């Protein structure tokens, strides 16, 4: 158990950075200082107490990234209650299920989301508040709630008659083993499970970031990952709030243009992202230039190629703003072709590997330490890892971890907890190898693994990684069909339309792709057939394809 405590870190940050800006709603023309953030938090504490909300009660929040969303989150955990962040993309029946399963007594939601929900389907809720303006949307007891809410200013002044300043910022002490976050992940296998993350798990992630990522007072960040997901929550909210940084929230999932505009105006130091952003920039903007005959010729000439790559790197760096230091990639594996190119131009990208059950971090490497195709070193002093394999360095096996960041278990689901946790070790479901420097190299998910004709292990992700870089492939899904390896491909219709390709043309191109990729694969991995798929594949919030939804039919 760690000696440090996140609530104490936040308390010190609020006191120390009192006059500085803490949060801004990008394009919303609203920002708050650390002083205003502290006041908001303590006003909520008064309201919670007046309405009989107890520490350890569950408070759910659903909505797009915003200062108000963040205030609710921080007010809840500093009160000692358990926050239940719900992804705004979840359908109403999933939201009802999570609110009920989590035993939440209060819900905060955007007004437009509330229009889709039914209070009768969440019978245990005592109250529902709007994130937009903190108004009351629903209440179980009209008189009690409105009475305290309407007199909140008076209650606050009565509690702090001498005024409210840094000296008044003092949170109750909550042990590190206490449950802090109940995070429901959609996963890829049906109904989500409630991951119980302790104060210790959150503290471990933030403490590692504080000692390795160097974002502090005067630094700006752009929060565009969904903060209801633990990656965005830990590194776009909790970490910068503990260091005095200034967070700018981009609400809904932004378009590339909005995001680039945000980077260039806000000038973040570190950018936390999933691989998709870099992969889109590479495929849509850089690859067409690199494939020009003149550029191919120049990059084949020694010395000249270095100059060309320097110019490409310089232009790519400007996309992220003048203060950019590095982009931290997590949430999914980065495409190997993209990684190779970024290395070639010496672009500063760091990589972390984790999962919701570890709040999320398991491994990390700075861009100057990162080894090719690695997902980083196991966090020294925080986590341990081993590979369930006869030869962990060469034969892939399941990645098994334990340490400060590991969850308490799944809420009200001991059977599921026992399936993945044995003697404090968490079985991740990921397959990989580990080197002498404790770096992990992932091969794929164990449950996705296809057994080859002679018992060989085939990892679909490795084949998809190659296939996704082939002509007119937007995304792909490799599956097993009658003990054969096949693929569904969602084509790049935009590129196809630009050159007037018909579906028959695309089918012929995919057959050519199949033959070309088989030249790069082992015989037992060979694709027998590629079939066009008409729409984008359904994805989780981490942008992983929901594989369980798809089958290959002739």
Q: What is the CATH number of the domain that holds 300?
A: 3.40.50.12780
Alpha-carbon span 177 to 174, nearest angstrom = 8
Q: Nearest CA to 220 among 266, 182, 258, 165?
A: 266
What is the distance in angstroms between the CA of the first residue and the CA of the last residue of the chain? Answer: 54
Q: What beta strand segments (E) does 188-266 contain?
A: 193-198, 220-223, 246-249
SS3 state of residue 488: strand
Under 8 Å between Cβ of 379 and 405: yes
Name every residue whose Cβ is closer than 8 Å to that of residue 514 and which is 6 or more positions away in sequence. Answer: 487, 527, 529, 530
In a domain, 236, yes or no: no
Angle between helix 34-50 and 152-159 (nearest 10): 110
Final residue of a structural domain among 174, 202, 230: 202
Q: Which residue has the tokens 């609530």?
A: 7
Residues 310 and 344 both lie in one domain: yes
Note whether 346 and 438 are same-domain residues.
Answer: yes
State both tokens at 28.
């919303």
**Which of 429, 447, 465 corresponds to the end of one domain?**
447
b/e map 31-54, b = 16+ CB within 10 Å: bbbbbbbbbbbbbbbbbbebbebe
Question: Which helix (H) or strand (E) segment is 445 a member of?
Answer: strand 440-445
The confidence score (pLDDT) of residue 388 equals 93
**Within this chain, do residues 402 and 526 fall inside the same structural domain, yes or no?**
no
The CA–CA distances, whole Å, from 522 to 45, 420, 461, 485 equal 61, 32, 15, 12
Q: Which domain range does residue 138 map to?
A: 6-202
Same domain, 389 and 465: no
Question: How far apart, in whole angstroms, are the C-alpha atoms of residue 470 and residue 455?
Answer: 28
Q: pTM (2 decimals)?
A: 0.83
Q: At 133, which CATH number?
A: 3.40.50.980
Q: Are residues 527 and 436 in the same domain?
A: no
* SS3 state of residue 205: helix
**Residue 293 half-sphere exposure, CB side, CA atoms within 13 Å?**
0
Is there a single domain that holds both residue 443 and residue 457? no
Q: With respect to residue 219, please indicate whether it lies within any of the assigned structural domains.
A: no
The verdict on 456 and 430 lying in the same domain is no
Two tokens at 239? 């970490």
DSSP H helices, 172-291, are: 199-212, 230-232, 239-241, 256-266, 276-281, 287-290
Q: How far is CA 155 from CA 81, 146, 147, in A?
A: 21, 13, 11
Are 439 and 502 within one domain? no
Q: Which of 169, 202, 235 is the last residue of a domain?
A: 202
Q: Tens-of-pLDDT digits for all 554 residues of the chain?
A: 999 999 999 999 999 999 999 999 998 778 999 999 999 999 999 999 988 899 999 999 999 999 999 999 999 999 999 999 998 878 888 899 999 999 999 999 999 999 999 999 999 999 999 999 998 899 887 667 766 777 888 999 999 999 999 999 999 999 999 999 999 875 333 456 899 999 999 999 999 999 999 899 989 999 998 899 899 999 999 999 999 999 999 976 677 778 888 999 999 999 999 887 888 888 777 888 777 887 777 777 888 788 888 988 988 898 899 899 999 998 777 888 889 999 999 999 999 999 999 999 999 999 998 899 999 999 999 999 999 999 999 998 999 999 999 999 999 999 999 999 999 999 998 989 999 999 999 988 777 878 665 556 788 988 998 999 899 999 999 998 877 899 999 999 988 998 999 999 999 999 999 999 999 887 878 999 999 999 999 887 667 788 878 888 76
CB 383 within 8 A of CB 403: yes
Q: H helices of 51-104, where?
A: 67-79, 92-101
What gap in Å lies between CA 103 and CA 81, rounded to an integer?
12
Distances (CA, A) of 517 to 182, 206, 372, 470: 43, 42, 22, 9
Residues 297 and 439 in one domain: yes
Structure tokens at 97: 């299920």
- The DSSP code for 446 is G
Do the domain assignments include residue 519? yes
Determine, yes or no, domain membership for 117: yes
φ, ψ of residue 390 to 5 degrees: the values are -65, -30
Task: Verify that 477 and 414 share a domain, yes or no.
Answer: no
In a domain, 264, yes or no: no
**Helix (H), strand (E), coil (C) string for 332-384:** CCCCHHHHHHHHHCCCCEEEEEECHHHCCEEEEECCCCCCCCCCCEECCCCEE
Kindly calculate the radius of gyration of the chain based on its CA atoms and give it in whole angstroms: 25
Under 8 Å between Cβ of 221 and 269: yes
Structural contact between residues 206 and 242, judged by C-beta atoms closer than 8 angstroms: yes
Phi, psi angles (nearest 5°) of residue 99: -60, -45
454 shares its domain with 441? no
Task: Show Cβ contacts of residue 303 under 8 Å, excluding neighbours closer than 6 positions.
Answer: none
Helices (H) then strands (E): counts for the chain: 20, 27
Domain total of the chain: 3
Do residues 440 and 545 share a domain? Answer: no
In a domain, 285, yes or no: yes
- H/E element holding 271? strand 270-273
Dist CA 190 CA 93 (whole Å):
13
Domain harbouring 514, CATH code: 3.30.300.30
């Amino acid at each position: 158990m760690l000696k440090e405590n996140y609530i104490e870190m936040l308390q010190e940050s609020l006191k120390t950075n009192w006059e500085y800006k803490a949060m801004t709603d990008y394009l919303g023309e609203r920002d708050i200082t650390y002083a205003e953030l502290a006041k908001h938090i303590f006003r909520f504490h008064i309201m919670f107490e007046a309405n009989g909300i107890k520490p350890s009660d569950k408070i759910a929040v659903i909505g797009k990234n915003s200062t108000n969303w963040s205030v609710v989150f921080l007010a809840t955990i500093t009160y000692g209650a358990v926050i239940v962040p719900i992804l705004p993309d979840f359908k109403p029946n999933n939201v009802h299920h999570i609110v009920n399963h989590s035993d939440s007594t209060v819900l905060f939601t955007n007004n437009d989301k509330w229009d889709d929900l039914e209070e009768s389907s969440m019978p245990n809720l005592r109250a529902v508040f709007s994130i937009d303006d903190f108004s009351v949307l629903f209440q179980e007891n009209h008189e009690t709630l409105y009475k305290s809410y309407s007199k909140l200013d008076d209650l606050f002044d009565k509690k702090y008659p001498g005024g409210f300043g840094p000296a008044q910022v003092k949170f109750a002490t909550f042990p590190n083993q206490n449950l802090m976050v109940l995070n429901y992940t959609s996963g890829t296998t049906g109904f989500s499970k409630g991951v119980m993350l302790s104060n210790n798990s959150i503290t471990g992630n933030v403490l590692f970031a504080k000692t390795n990522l160097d974002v502090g007072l005067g630094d700006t960040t752009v929060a565009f990952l969904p903060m209801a997901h633990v990656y965005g929550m830990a590194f776009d909210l909790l970490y910068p709030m503990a260091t005095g940084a200034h967070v700018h929230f981009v609400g809904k999932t932004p378009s590339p243009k909005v995001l680039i505009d945000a980077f260039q105006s806000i000038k973040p130091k570190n950018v936390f992202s999933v691989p998709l952003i870099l992969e889109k920039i590479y495929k849509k903007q850089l690859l067409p230039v690199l494939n020009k005959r003149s550029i191919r010729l120049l990059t084949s000439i020694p010395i000249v190629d270095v100059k060309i790559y320097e110019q490409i790197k310089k232009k790519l760096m400007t996309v992220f703003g003048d203060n950019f230091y590095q982009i931290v990639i997590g949430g999914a594996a980065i495409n190997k072709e993209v990684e190779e190119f970024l290395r070639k131009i010496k672009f500063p990208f760091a990589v972390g590997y984790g999962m919701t059950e570890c709040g999320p971090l398991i491994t990390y490497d700075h861009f100057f330490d990162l080894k090719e195709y690695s997902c980083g070193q196991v966090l020294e002093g925080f986590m341990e890892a081993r590979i369930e394999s006869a030869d962990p360095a060469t034969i892939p096996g399941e990645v098994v971890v334990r340490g400060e960041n590991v969850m308490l278990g799944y809420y009200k689901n001991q059977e599921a907890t026992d399936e993945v946790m044995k003697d404090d070790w968490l079985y991740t479901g990921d397959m990989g190898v580990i080197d002498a420097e404790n770096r992990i190299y992932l091969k794929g998910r164990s449950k996705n693994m296809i057994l080859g004709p002679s018992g060989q292990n085939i990892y679909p992700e490795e084949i998809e990684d190659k296939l996704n870089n082939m002509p007119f492939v937007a995304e792909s899904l490799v599956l097993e069909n009658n003990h054969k390896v096949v693929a569904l491909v969602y084509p790049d219709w935009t590129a196809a339309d630009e050159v007037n390709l018909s579906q028959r043309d695309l089918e012929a191109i995919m057959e050519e792709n199949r033959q070309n990729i088989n030249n790069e694969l082992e015989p037992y991995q060979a694709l027998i057939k590629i079939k066009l798929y008409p729409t984008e594949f359904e994805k989780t919030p981490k942008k992983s394809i929901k594989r369980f939804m798809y089958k290959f039919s002739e």
